[in-house]
A and B are shown apart, each in its own frame.
Chain A
Amino acid sequence: MALNWYRFSSPATFYPLAGRLVPLFGWGAAVLAAVGLWLGFVVAPTDFQQGEVYRIIFIHVPSAWMSMFLYVVMAFWGALLLGFNTRLSGMMAQAIAPTGALMTFIALWSGALWGRPTWGTYWAWDARMTSELILLFLYFGIIALRQAIGDPRRADRACAVLALVGVVNIPIIYFSVKWWNTLHQGASVKLTGSSMETTMLAGMLVMSFAFWFYAIAVVLARVRTIVLERERGAAWVAELPEARSA
């Protein structure tokens, strides 16, 4: 079956579709978060060396994963914009940036609160932490660049280029603990398996899906407002029931 992807690259078609998906993913995120927190804080056992403090992992790792994944998705939309010149791609990239920055901030903040009782410090300039901080600045830079350019189409292109350049930082963050010796420990979850007890791992994965669903819901809700803002002069916007009743 040949699905016509171009059909959904039209804001007029995408706007109602996104509207239907937002509550779906929003409620999904709420249910997953409830299950994940229950697994993490009630079912999962105490850790043998860190005691209860390791439970920050249920917030720290999902947010860190999402901070990197959202950046890759944002850069992907940037590449599509530059390649296909689809204006919805630019709106998607614009909508992802604040949520990505939020996830990066949560990862850094929760990491600091975790580092103090375990390592003995809130912060260290090791490769993992420094590259994650650079990721936060990349998100800030992209948001600031958009604010600095008045014309949304030009802003889209500039942000897409910056996002694509910054993508080199993602493998650096991910592999930093492998390439260099760092204070941060290595990955617990790899393609070859994990070094975590099963219920701990389950709690972390469910929380990751909760963060993922939250990010999708929030980004789609935000992209809808961006569509309305940018297409406010279009005929299809004027015909929306919410526009007519206002």
Chain B
Amino acid sequence: MKPRHRRLAWIAAGLAVLGVAVALVLNAFQSNLVFFFSPTDVAEQKAPQGRTFRIGGLVEEKSVRRDGIVVHFNVTDTAKTIPVSYQGILPDLFKEGKGVVAQGKLGPDGVFVASEVLAKHDENYMPPEAAAAVSKAHIEAAEKNAAKTLVR
């Protein structure tokens, strides 16, 4: 083994050890690295109790209701749902059926009182016509499915 090969081997070994160390640290801090908790996490009591945290999920379809300046909506991960109330300006991309991250506190009545609401969009980029075609195909598939269940 030439000295330069030995040095390179030491560098590789050092990086490997460092990688393992960082992986262990990140694994230990796993719960602190999440940006938001899902409604299922909250139902399973994984979210911090009695202090501010963020919940994330989809704005449930047909759940947005305006009561004066307060907005009510439900955040869902399709398994569990949490009602949210918020007073303030909503981001432009806030929409029913789209992603949302809300920061606030869970009240004793089970309503999440948000102090900040952010929109979370997905990684799909396409022209509106393509999106319309995609959602049309989705609706048709859903109708076909529904029809199948009815027949059965």
A binding-site residues for B, Cβ under 8 Å: 45-50, 54, 57, 79, 82-85, 117-121, 124-127, 164-165, 167-168, 172, 179-183, 185-188, 195-197, 200
- Do A47 and B123 touch (CB < 8 A)? no
Least CB separation from B122: chain A residue:
A185
In this assembly, does B70 line the interface, its C-beta being within 8 Å of a C-beta of chain A?
no
Indicate if the CB atoms of B130 and A183 lie closer than 8 Å: no
- How many A-B residue pairs have C-beta atoms within 8 angstroms? Tell me: 117
Tell which of B13-21, B43-51, B104-112 binds the partner: B13-21
**Assembled-state Cα–Cα distance A196/B131 (Å):** 11
Contacts of B20-41 to chain A: CB distance below 8 A: 22, 26, 30, 33-36, 38
Partner of A83, one of B7, B56, B101, B120: B7
Cβ–Cβ < 8 Å partners of A50 in chain B:
93, 121, 125
- Provided the pairs A127-B33, A164-B15, A181-B34 are in contact, do residues A197 and B123 lie with their beta carbons within 8 angstroms? no
| Nearest CB in chain B to that of A200: its residue | B125
Q: Are B36 and A119 in contact (CB under 8 A)?
A: no
- Which residues of chain A come closer than 8 Å to B14, judged between CB atoms? 164
The 3 A-B pairs with the shortest beta carbon distances in the complex, nearest first, are: A120-B91, A48-B131, A45-B127
Tell me if B's interface is mostly helix, strand, loop or mixed. Answer: mixed
A175 to chain B, nearest CB (A): 10
A199's closest neighbor in chain B, by CB?
Answer: B127
Distance in angstroms from B92 CB to nearest chain A CB is: 6
Q: In the bound complex, do residue B131 and residue A120 qualify as a contact, i.e. CB atoms below 8 Å apart?
A: no
Are B4 and A83 touching (Cβ within 8 A)?
yes
In the complex, what distance in Å separates the CA atom of A179 from the CA atom of B5? 35
Residue B68 interfacial (CB < 8 Å): no
Closest chain B residue to A80 by CB distance? Answer: B8
The answer to whether A183 touches B118 (Cβ under 8 A) is yes
Between A and B, 9 residue pairs with Cβ closer than 8 Å are A54-B125, A119-B119, A119-B121, A124-B35, A183-B101, A185-B122, A186-B122, A188-B123, A195-B124
From A121, A164, A179, A195, contact of B118 by CB (8 A): A121
Instruction: Tell whether, in the assembled complex, residue B120 and residue A47 are in contact, meaning their CB atoms are under 8 Å apart.
Output: no
The docked-state distance in angstroms from the alpha carbon of A124 to that of B91 is: 14
